[in-house]
């Protein structure tokens, strides 16, 4: 199956969520939550991420995660990841309990496309103090893709991870997982990057984006938001509408996308120093806000 066919299938099978100009969404991807070891890239930014997530919860946003939320190539199962970042999952649980959580699987957490795996690992967890099962995300469903459809304009925003345009990270993900788990995780600790990742392979990320751009052009310039390559992307109005929310494993910052009041904004959260030497986490708009309808080109 070609990348174009995989993208076609993802669009056809996407979960549709209705929204309007009063809706508020925040999109993050590529958190790669790990085991809190030296190989856990998320650990460097987890305080920034937690602070940002708490802000969005308090402000009434729905949280959409566009894949690779959990690092399940380097780690054997979800349990060790959950124990390492329990406070994060407890916050995500609040979103879920409020019907404000939408999850997409990527290549590093592709096991979540199996409902049996999700049921076994994510519905509940074992509380080691009481030795009893405690609900976490009961009956949660992970999706390959999501369509946000505006109730008044009928504009569609197509959300997916983006590895559908990357053969080895879609069809050959088990091979790449084996290489990462056995070979690259130990080498990552001493600073050697994983060459299977488009995020660390510029030429491969360009190829992935080129294939998705072709698909968008062949599908009436459908508004599309991806992750996967870790490269934030925010086109100008009138250009091909391919957006990328970046990642949560940038050095010293995380990037994401906000959809609010009928607009879209690319944002960054980072640690900043005040004039009196106090460290604080701040939100920095990088691009936008831009009206969604400005990208409704045919």
Q: What pLDDT, in 10s, does the model give residues 85-128?
A: 999 999 999 999 999 999 999 999 999 999 999 999 999 998 88
The tokens of 56 are what? Answer: 């969005």
The runs of H, that is alpha helices, within the chain are 3-12, 46-58, 78-84, 86-97, 115-122, 167-170, 173-179, 185-189, 202-218
- DSSP per residue, 36-86: SSTT-GGGGGHHHHHHHHHHHHHTTPEEEEES--B-TTTSSSHHHHHHHTH
pLDDT digits (tens, 9 = 90+) for 60-78: 999 999 999 999 998 888 9
Per the CB < 8 A criterion, the answer to whether 84 and 34 are in contact is: yes
Residues 110 and 242: their CA atoms lie apart, in Å, by 23
Global pTM?
A: 0.92
Residue range 145-161: mean pLDDT, rounded: 97
pLDDT of residue 197: 54
Closest CA to 207 of 171, 168, 180: 168
Share of the chain above pLDDT 70, in %: 92
pLDDT of residue 185: 60
pLDDT digits (tens, 9 = 90+) for 154-197: 999 999 999 999 877 777 767 877 777 776 666 555 555 555 55
CB atoms within 10 A of CB 119: 13
């Amino acid at each position: 199956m070609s990348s174009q066919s995989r993208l076609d299938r993802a669009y056809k099978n996407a979960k549709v969520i209705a929204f309007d100009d009063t809706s508020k969404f925040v999109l993050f991807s590529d958190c790669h939550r790990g085991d809190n070891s030296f190989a856990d890239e998320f650990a460097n930014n987890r305080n920034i991420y937690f602070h940002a997530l708490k802000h969005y919860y308090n402000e009434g946003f729905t949280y959409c995660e566009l894949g690779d939320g959990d690092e399940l190539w380097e780690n054997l199962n979800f349990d060790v990841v959950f124990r390492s970042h329990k406070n994060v999952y407890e916050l995500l649980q609040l979103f879920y309990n409020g019907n404000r959580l939408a999850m997409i699987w990527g290549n590093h957490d592709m096991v979540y496309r199996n409902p049996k795996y999700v049921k076994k690992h994510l519905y509940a967890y074992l509380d080691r103090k009481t030795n009893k099962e405690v609900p976490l995300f009961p009956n949660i469903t992970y999706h390959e893709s999501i369509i946000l459809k505006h109730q008044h304009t009928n504009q569609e925003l197509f959300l997916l991870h983006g590895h559908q345009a990357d053969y080895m990270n879609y069809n050959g993900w088990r091979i790449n997982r084996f290489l990462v788990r056995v070979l690259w995780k130990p080498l990552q600790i001493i600073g050697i990057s994983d060459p299977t990742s488009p995020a660390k392979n510029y030429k491969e990320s360009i190829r992935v984006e080129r294939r998705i751009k072709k698909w968008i052009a062949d599908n009436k310039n459908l508004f599309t938001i991806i992750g996967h390559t870790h490269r934030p992307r925010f086109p100008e109005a009138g250009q091909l509408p391919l957006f990328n929310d970046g990642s949560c494993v940038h050095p010293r910052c995380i990037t994401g996308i906000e959809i609010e009041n009928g607009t879209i904004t690319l944002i960054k959260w980072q640690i900043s120093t005040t004039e009196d030497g106090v460290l604080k986490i701040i939100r920095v708009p990088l691009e936008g806000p831009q009206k969604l309808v400005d990208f409704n080109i045919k």
